[in-house]
Structure 1
Amino acid sequence: MLLKKSSRSQSRWKYWIKPWQQIDWLLFFVVVGVSFFGGLMIRSTELSQGLIDWWWHWIVSIIGACVALIIARVRYENLLEYHWYIYTAVNISLVAVMIIGKSAKGAQRWINIAGVPVQPSEFAKLAMIITLAALLHKTTASNLSSVFRAMAFTAIPWALVFIQPDLATSLVFGAIVLGMLYWANANPGWLVLMVSPIIAAILFSIQWPFTIAFSKDLVFGPLGLIWAVAMGIVGWRTLPWKRFGVSGIGAWALNMLGGEIGIFLWNHVLKEYQKGRLTSFLNPDQNLLTTGYHQHQSRIAIGAGEWLGWGLNKGPMTQLNFVPEQHTDFIFSAVGEEFGFIGCLILLSVFAFLCLRLLHIAQTAKDNFGSLLAIGVLAMIVFQVIVNVGMNVGLAPVAGIPLPWMSYGRSAMVTNFVSLGIVESVANFRTKKKYWS
């Protein structure tokens, strides 16, 4: 009788756990742990204000974790049938933001759905990962036609996000595209050339004694010219059109054009608050009470934590609300103040471990589509962690990029957990291991 009961309970256990037998449980619980810790830190930043954003953070995390487990049971290959619908729906939502969206802090990025503000640009990141994976899983990026096709389909949602304006999310798009193209066997030289116009735009804008300026929007700086020549050499060595030096001249001209477009965007397109963030980063001791205030206060808070920190709910900068937006973009400064250098190092080690698990899933996926999905999510997470931590410690401009699973933000949290669910589906439907006879 006891044997029958034991056998029956074992079969029930197999029935419930079998649909998830291949998922990466270590990755899943690490993410849940980071989300829980994020709630604790958000609570610490809001204790003196009596806010309950930390409760919402935990509630959305629980819902997101459940959604991730449900997605992990569904074969990720089904996304191939629906990726154009997903791509179209996201683009429609981005257009809708421009028409009926809610404006805040100088940007129009949110749509109210049943009284809840939703940020479509967050979901657009995941939609682009799915779309690019579908485009590249059969035809790799080893030829330029595949690269141009991927860039063309990325350009539409990227442009719609950029004009909101949401410069931060548009940069995440770039990281996703570069990471997935590299994984799809694109020539590294091509990827350098894709990024080179942005670097040219920055270098052309640097004022040197020998800068040649024909007008406000027609400036030639020495660093920009040297960079353009260097990229001409890269283009000549890596692009296929070598006859008469067409590839090298084309790459050089592209960077010259990129530099001038960058100057035009700076003078006529970028908002004042965006310019302020960039100039404050380049001159950290300038405008400490205006555009540089957030980053200055964050650096003070992290420095005050020293090695071991003040302890949870005991950081003076955090408890007295000296760091603006600390529960969102600057949550890492709360970790630095209350848990010190050691706490920051542990958190970064956890993120590194999380990224290694994503890389492992990409390497062991059964097909290119699953591998590209995992790499796209990895590129998104890595870029956001690097930029967010960088802006908290003063090594990157304030870009408004949240720290994954740590910062408060419902749309971002849901996007991250849905992304986790898709990656866990890739892991779940790898070559099956025999757990039970």
Structure 2
Amino acid sequence: MLLKRSRYSTAKIRWKSWFRPWHQVDLLLFILVIALTIFGGIMIRSAELNQGLNDWFWHLVTGGVGLFFALILARIRYENLVQWHWVTYAITNASLIAVMIAGTSAKGAQRWIPIGGFYVQPSEFAKIGVIITLAALLHKHTADKLPNFIRALAVTAVPWLLVFLQPDLATSLVFGAVVLAMLYWANANIGWLIILISPVVAAIVFSIQWPFPISITTDLYLAPLGLIWALTIGLIGWRTLPWRRYGVNFFGPLLINILCGQLGMFAWTHLLKDYQKGRITSFLNPDADPLGIGYQLINSRIAIGAGEIFGWGLNKGPMTQLNFVPEQHTDFIFSAVGEEFGFIGCLLLITLFFFVCMRLLHIAKTAKDNFGSLLAIGVLAMIIFQMSVNIGMTIGLAPVAGIPLPWMSYGRSAMLANFLAIGLVESVANFRHFQKY
């Protein structure tokens, strides 16, 4: 009897020692992302059921590989990345340059590099590289001082520009969301953040030309709403920026916004082609081109609406099974969930993402240092932005962009990148307190 107890105790000790390197990881976070991955595989299979494809299988395989790497990262001290952040930054930029030189093109963009029979999308992994680099820069020199704020922007500008030139506007927007969130978490002045995004808003506001444009020359317009926006930004600059001599802190932001507004109007009028304008504005009125640009969005909304409260059931959604929604297994997987599981299924899916975000926020708040906290916030911003834009575009609240739904949409590079990001955050959780093995 004593011998049996001794063997049981020894086996128990060995079992515990095997798991000891991960004993402080956030287990719930791992469970949530695994559940999302499995659910994504189920929905991808349903969307492809009548097409003879097996992307659902590769989705789950890639998820398993990603989980393996996430577990490895979780047991490696994340602090080691600080001394390697410039190497990470160099590799990130080199991969983005490589895809522009030797990458393959699809749908007008050059984003993939063929490696061993697989197509790798470096821009997905560049998100993690930017998060690591920014966290390393801001963990000691916080963004409450303008030189540190500008340095962080300058460092981010290089990979952002390389992604934008592919062109991959959707991923470049993800970069923007990540940078804003990390700068905010690093104590940046709110006014500086507003000034940072103001040129983009000015380009949109001036292009609206509401209630009417006042023509000065054939190419120069003063939209009243745009002028109000530019004056507001000028006042914010006057209150928050240090360059007060000659009113530079007021007139600088004001004039930049007016200039960007004019450039936005010029680009809309003379540079963008009709189909590009259509992709940007189709979500406002998809019925204007129901068989062209608006086709995907119209059918996505029909599929989600057809699911009503409880849905048609797995593998039973007419729109999904008859392949009425293009790219449903990738960017529009949420429409399959809405049709086959209804409002309740969509609500449960969003709830899963909510708990993922809450766990990421908890890890950011309980990290032992600024570097770990900033890593978690960067990943949180990446997930929230991608989830919000993806769901928004499937229901007609945002322009159609090539942003996948994390762990749900089919995409091997995106899946691996998301799991690597979770592995980094789990390392932050695992090493919140000093431990010896």
- Fold agreement, TM-score > 0.5: yes
Match of 1:331 among 311, 330, 333: 333
Structure 1 counterpart of 2:111: 109
Q: Do 2:199 and 2:257's aligned partners in 1 also have CA atoms closer than 8 Å?
A: yes
Report the CA distance between 1:225 and its aligned residue: 1.0
Structure 2 counterpart of 1:430: 432
Structure 1 counterpart of 2:386: 384
Structure 2 counterpart of 1:146: 148
C-alpha separation in 1, matches of 2:16 and 2:151: 45
Structure 2 counterpart of 1:252: 254
Structure 2 counterpart of 1:167: 169
Deviations 1:11-38 (A, max 9, x none): 2012111000000000001100100000
Report the CA distance between 1:243 and its aligned residue: 4.1
Match of 1:53 among 48, 55, 68: 55
Equivalent residue letter for 1:297: N
Alignment partner of 1:305 is 2:315: no
Q: Secondary structure at the match of 2:112?
A: strand
**Kindly tell me: are residues 318 and 215 of structure 1, through their superposed partners in 2, closer, same or farther at Cα, counting changes over 3 Å?**
farther
C-alpha separation in 1, matches of 2:50 and 2:111: 29
Q: Secondary structure at the match of 1:282?
A: coil
Moved over 6 A (4+): none
Q: Do 1:217 and 1:263's aligned partners in 2 also have CA atoms closer than 8 Å?
A: no
What is the identity percentage for the equivalent residue pairs of Structure 1 and Structure 2? 66
Q: Do 2:211 and 2:225's aligned partners in 1 also have CA atoms closer than 8 Å?
A: no
Alignment partner of 1:261 is 2:263: yes
Report the CA distance between 1:236 and its aligned residue: 1.1
Alignment partner of 1:276 is 2:284: no
Match of 1:396 among 395, 398, 415: 398
C-alpha separation in 1, matches of 2:323 and 2:360: 35
Report the CA distance between 1:217 and its aligned residue: 5.2
Structure 1 counterpart of 2:76: 74
Report the CA distance between 1:234 and its aligned residue: 1.1
Structure 2 counterpart of 1:414: 416
Structure 2 counterpart of 1:137: 139
**Kindly tell me: are residues 214 and 121 of structure 1, through their superposed partners in 2, closer, same or farther at Cα, counting changes over 3 Å?**
farther
Structure 2 counterpart of 1:124: 126
Q: Secondary structure at the match of 2:24?
A: coil
Report the CA distance between 1:433 and its aligned residue: 8.6
**Kindly tell me: are residues 154 and 216 of structure 1, through their superposed partners in 2, closer, same or farther at Cα, counting changes over 3 Å?**
farther
Equivalent residue letter for 2:161: A
Q: Do 2:329 and 2:410's aligned partners in 1 also have CA atoms closer than 8 Å?
A: yes
Alignment partner of 1:290 is 2:292: yes
Match of 2:344 among 342, 345, 356: 342
C-alpha separation in 2, matches of 1:213 and 1:228: 18
Structure 1 counterpart of 2:21: 19
Structure 2 counterpart of 1:44: 46
Report the CA distance between 1:325 and its aligned residue: 0.6
Deviations 1:255-298 (A, max 9, x none): 11221232344356556543221121232321121111111111
C-alpha separation in 2, matches of 1:393 and 1:293: 13
State the number of aligned residues. 435
Report the CA distance between 1:203 and its aligned residue: 0.7
**Kindly tell me: are residues 35 and 210 of structure 1, through their superposed partners in 2, closer, same or farther at Cα, counting changes over 3 Å?**
same
> Higher mean Cα deviation, 265-274 or 311-320?
265-274
C-alpha separation in 2, matches of 1:415 and 1:86: 14
- 1:217-228 equivalences under 5 Å are 218-228=220-230
> Higher mean Cα deviation, 35-44 or 76-85?
76-85
Q: Secondary structure at the match of 2:105?
A: strand
Q: TM-score, normalised by structure 2?
A: 0.96
C-alpha separation in 2, matches of 1:282 and 1:227: 23
Q: Secondary structure at the match of 2:291?
A: coil
Cα RMSD (Å) of the superposition? 1.6
Q: Do 2:286 and 2:295's aligned partners in 1 also have CA atoms closer than 8 Å?
A: no
Equivalent residue letter for 1:39: G
**Kindly tell me: are residues 216 and 106 of structure 1, through their superposed partners in 2, closer, same or farther at Cα, counting changes over 3 Å?**
farther
**Kindly tell me: are residues 261 and 74 of structure 1, through their superposed partners in 2, closer, same or farther at Cα, counting changes over 3 Å?**
same
C-alpha separation in 2, matches of 1:268 and 1:81: 47
Q: Do 2:211 and 2:224's aligned partners in 1 also have CA atoms closer than 8 Å?
A: no
Equivalent residue letter for 1:196: S
- 1:360-371 equivalences under 5 Å are 360-371=362-373
Report the CA distance between 1:214 and its aligned residue: 5.1
Unaligned runs of 5+ in 2: none
Report the CA distance between 1:246 and its aligned residue: 2.2
